[in-house]
Structure 1
Amino acid sequence: MPTVMVCDDSPLAREALRRGVASVPGIERVVVAGSGEEALARWSRERPDLVLIDVRMPGLGGIEAARRILAADPTASVIMLTMAEDVDGVARAVASGVRGYLVKDASREEVAATVASALSDAATRRAPAAGKPVDADLPSLTERELQVLDGMSRGRSNAEIGRELYLSEDTVKTHARRLFRKLGAADRAHAVALGFRKGIVH
């Protein structure tokens, strides 16, 4: 049964996430760390099946800690913990090879769904290869949807994207909704993370 590690420098956030993760059926154990340095030490000793780590922490930040974990084991599953709309942090984290992200104010249901999905994905990657690899099928996006996604990846607001593309903000929102639906994304940060992972944006 899987073990999950939660790393956040905020004791309150760390405990809330620990409780949320512990509520996921099938989780054997949840271990915690209060810094990137502690996360690396505990990961080396315990090799948890999934690591949830805050993007921005004093000292060794989550992105660097995740990079070192993935350098040691490219099959490791790491999910970044971010503030809502932290597009830059998400993009840099995904570029380092993490599997996705979770916003810190996510509901317990969202935490459980993200953890369960990440553990299932990890089990699939570690199983003998069969069929298509994950993300083999890229969604069919229109040119406008690609342009909107590119703008999001650069941290532009809907209004700013509209000015760049000579579109109204409402039209940009319409393209964004279609984009989210095609990617299976919950919001713009999730869409950017998926875009980087699938190679749609660079």
Structure 2
Amino acid sequence: MITVLVADDQALVRGALSTMLGLESDIEVVAQVGDGEAAVEAAVRLSPDVALLDVQMPRLDGLGAAARIHAERPSCRVIICTTFGRPGYLARAMASGAHGFIVKDSPPEQLADAVRRVASGLRVVDPVLAAESLSFGASPLTDREREVLKAAAEGGTIRDVAKSLRLTDGTVRNHLSSAIGKTGARTRAEAARLAEERGWL
């Protein structure tokens, strides 16, 4: 029996994924949680064979949760299952220790098959995303540039961003300028939009 943890912040989606997997005779869903911190805690406590994680969750996103689970419970293999099929997410998911990456509109049988394959030690990646990821390449943004651009995208002035990240105004301007240049954008809003579309944020 393959034991699975399902983490998604949307209760209906979480329930649907769990129900679909529960219909399989060789798969048992042992926990359903609504955020990344709870996913890490459940993975450490229950030691499931596979953790199925959404990307965008409160408290800790799926990529951060994947990295923590990989570090704290390496026997638990992670699949990122997301609505947002963005190429940059794929690269970041693999870098965080995930073993699979699929989109939520995949047919139910593909989800069950992905769980089985990942549990057996294989990697599973959506082929369309894999091709797109290669065409965009890895994110050119540094961790700090990504952090500053993400904070700027949420609104606020340079001073607000600097205060929230404990940086100087000049440092924030430098990171934003660099991020704008690397994304080929004209403004910080456009840079944030392009980076988001490519999964770099």
Is this a same-fold pair by TM over 0.5? yes
The residue that corresponds to 1:109 in the other structure is: 109
1:81–1:103 contact (8 Å) kept in structure 2:
yes
The residue that corresponds to 1:93 in the other structure is: 93
Structure 2: unaligned runs, 5 residues or longer: 124-130, 140-201
The alignment-based identity, stated in percent, is: 38
AA aligned to 1:117 is: R
TM-score, normalised by the number of residues in structure 2: 0.59
CA distance in 2, matches of 1:2, 1:20: 14
The residue that corresponds to 2:59 in the other structure is: 59
Distance 1:148 1:119, change over 3 A: closer
Distance 1:148 1:62, change over 3 A: closer
Other structure's SS at 2:27 match? coil
AA aligned to 2:112 is: A
The residue that corresponds to 1:151 in the other structure is: 135
The residue that corresponds to 1:119 in the other structure is: 119
The residue that corresponds to 1:77 in the other structure is: 77
CA distance in 1, matches of 2:73, 2:34: 22
2:44–2:72 contact (8 Å) kept in structure 1:
no
2:6–2:29 contact (8 Å) kept in structure 1:
no
CA distance in 1, matches of 2:40, 2:137: 29
Greater RCO structure (CA 8 Å; 6+ sep):
1
AA aligned to 2:28 is: E
How many aligned positions are there? 132
CA distance in 2, matches of 1:26, 1:148: 33
The residue that corresponds to 2:41 in the other structure is: 41
Other structure's SS at 2:79 match? strand
Other structure's SS at 1:101 match? strand
Distance 1:84 1:40, change over 3 A: closer
CA distance in 1, matches of 2:132, 2:96: 23
1:3–1:31 contact (8 Å) kept in structure 2:
no
Structure 1: unaligned runs, 5 residues or longer: 123-133, 135-146, 156-202
TM-score, normalised by the number of residues in structure 1: 0.59
CA distance in 1, matches of 2:136, 2:24: 32
2:18–2:29 contact (8 Å) kept in structure 1:
no
Shift of 1:148: 8.0
How big is the alpha-carbon RMSD for the aligned residues of Structure 1 and Structure 2? 2.3
CA distance in 2, matches of 1:111, 1:152: 26
CA distance in 1, matches of 2:81, 2:45: 22
AA aligned to 1:93 is: A
Deviation string 1:120-158 (CA, Å, 9 cap, x unpaired) is 227xxxxxxxxxxx8xxxxxxxxxxxx986324359xxx
The residue that corresponds to 1:19 in the other structure is: 19
Shift of 1:66: 0.9
Regions of 4+ moved over 4 Å: none
Shift of 1:7: 0.2
CA distance in 2, matches of 1:30, 1:74: 18
Shift of 1:12: 1.1
